[in-house]
Amino acid sequence: MIVGLHHATFLTGDLARSRAFYEGVIGLRTDPRRPDMSFEGVWYDIAPNQQIHLMSLPDPEAGLQRPAHGGRDRHVALLIDDLPTLAARLDAAGIPYTLSRSGRPALFCRDPDQNALEFIEVAG
């Protein structure tokens, strides 16, 4: 039986650019326990025993046309406690996003490598 989600992995063509997004805009902190591997990357803790991994590797889908709304593309949905603050951070960074079309308190954006992310606000 599945008991949880350990991590989601995204490819990045520019690790420094992706780190600026995930650390500077989204506010994630790195996990220093990432072992040395044959490629550059970074791990982010998002909750106990849950992470986002970035792998600095060529994207096999480079140039693929993505839907304008991330909810109509492959995406990872992350729970967040303050959606207006995230929206303000995205606005300040010039990162476009769309609101959930379901009416839920959620938004979709893309990271610098066009990976779709959903952020769903949960009650405090």
Tell me, what's the pLDDT at 45?
95
Tokens of 118: 């959903």
CATH of the domain at 107: 3.10.180.10
Q: Is residue 1 part of a domain?
A: no
Q: Is residue 91 part of a domain?
A: yes
43-98, pLDDT tens digit by residue?
Answer: 999 999 999 999 999 888 878 888 888 988 999 999 999 999 999 999 999 999 99
pTM: 0.91
Count of domains observed in the chain: 1
CA distance 51 to 69: 24
Q: Is residue 36 part of a domain?
A: yes
Strands 41-47 and 50-56: antiparallel
The answer for 36, left when phi > 0, alpha when psi is -120 to 50, beta otherwise, is beta
101-122, pLDDT tens digit by residue?
Answer: 888 999 999 999 999 999 999 9
Give the residue numbers spanning the domain of 106.
7-58+67-121
Q: Is residue 93 part of a domain?
A: yes
Q: Is residue 2 part of a domain?
A: no
